[in-house]
Structure 1
Amino acid sequence: MPLRPSRDVFITCAVTGAGDTTGRSDKVPVTPEQIADAAISAAKAGAAIAHIHVRDPQTGKPSRDLGLYREVVQLIAASGVDMVLNLTAGAGGDLVLGSPDAPLPPDPLATDMASAEERLAHVAELRPEICTLDCGTMNFGEGDYVMTNTPAMLQAMAARIKDLGVRPEIEIFDTGHLVLAKWLKDRGLIADPVMVQLCMGIPWGAPDDMASLLAMTANLPEDWTFSAFSIGRNQLPFAALAVAAGGNVRVGLEDNIWLKKGVLATNEDLVRQAVQIVEGMGSRVMTPAEVRAKMQLERHW
């Protein structure tokens, strides 16, 4: 397979995520002010796109509170710093079963299953340029948590996102998710240009080795735009692999809290490292305006 590295690359910064990282790093933003500041700093460092979750300010746990999303977006807008907003729509698909001896009923405290409309309420009000669409169901981690996105749910969410005029970023965690994404596109539920995020190294999805990445990219339609990332210590090396494979880059504290061994990172730190990697490979970092033009995005917020 010939090497076709990307010459123009956009960087996404996933600033906080929904994982249990706040207890391991005090740099992970929690409050709306901290999340907005992290996105602004990442944009100033070179990230064109800010991928945003929100957290309960009191507990640090993931939330889908519309008011928290509203506050984050308002703070970013008031800053005057340009960036493309990418709001998660993954919350509301969290199924946590009971023990192996008694899997039903699901754990009522940890399970959060919501309708398509509820999962997209913040997207409908705030109208970011992009929102995520987790394209499949999979075991996640070592416990009883199942990331749950049925074909029927994905059809409903994709149709609603299209009606809102928001570009879905299709999150691909394994090879079957890519097949499902193609099926949604064939049904007219995803508009061109198609935007894909290859999420690698997450138990128990696609591993973050080069062969798995190339297997994924080999099955992507040529006119689809993709980014790729790995979690943990391979985040920054994977930025180089993504560019070499013809894609774009994602970094941020959602996926990795370390800058190097023993040194906790900030989102700004990781974006600066990603910029160095991209430019060191002879490529150019794209601006938010260039990403909007390339991906035909509309700013409403």
Structure 2
Amino acid sequence: MAMTDEAKAARSRAALLAGQSADLAPAVEGWLNRLAHERRLSPKTLDAYARDLTLVINRLALHLGERPTLAQMGALAPADVRALLASRRADGVSPRTLVRLMAAARSFGRHLEREGLGKVGALAAVRTPKLKRSLPKPVSVSDAKALADPETRVGEDRAPWVLARDAAVLALLYGCGLRVSEALGLTRAAMPEPGKGDQITVTGKGNKTRMVPLLPQVARAVADYAALCPYQLEAEKPLFRGARGGPLSPRIVQAAVASMRGALGLPDTATPHALRHSFATHLLAAGGEIRAIQELLGHASLSTTQVYTAVDAARLMEAYRAAHPRA
């Protein structure tokens, strides 16, 4: 049985706390509590933070020759932090991973300073690698529609309810701009019957909720799946079920899209999350207002949404170069 995000977060938390010195462990626990309750990080994000800080502290222990204490954390020099980063580079990790590790370490350092437990100035003194921000890679309107059409997979040896289920999930990703985790987190009660509601409440990152318009086509796709599903869909239980009746795994959704890429001639960048990118890009291209799109996507910062303006501008330039006689 697949481990839930909550279980993974609990396991990472226990591993992180178990490996610390006597005075550092309470500080780490306080930091994790703050991330969970004040910043309202999702279990998945909390799991990632805990794993990253575990790795940072374990590498510092190797460098220092013992498990670091609060005093040793405060006494770290920039050279110590550079040695940690160099050891990870030697392991072949990507610059993005190094940035993520430093983000966890700096978050913990800010917590120590806020609680009056010390100041880890070395973390701020060392520069992290600069990342080239890649643009989202949406698929075309026709390809997005094809991915969410059960007829695309009609030749596969799959039960009709499974094809309808996968199509309904993908319809939610493209038609409502949901993250995969948001779609799979929906309950049966959250989804109105066709013609009886035009919006749904979605729980996103940090347990923040938002209202999202529900297109009639998407409501029909979900209703078709519900009618075919062989399992009883209780009101407060997960709407989408796996082959054995348990909650549907994101990996199954990823596998469904992968199986369609070849038939549709799509690149590897055509993933379930690319449908969310497509939702935003196609809305923007049709004249959608950037702040409205931010609300629909559930982005906390407008700068996160603004990356889609660059995607739209890049497509315009491609069209210009391809069509203008003097381009």
Same fold, judged at TM 0.5 (above): no
TM-score, length basis structure 1 = 0.22
The structure number with the bigger radius of gyration is 2
Query: Which protein, 1 or 2, shows the higher relative CO under an 8 Å CA cutoff with sep ≥ 6?
Result: 1
Greater helix proportion: 2
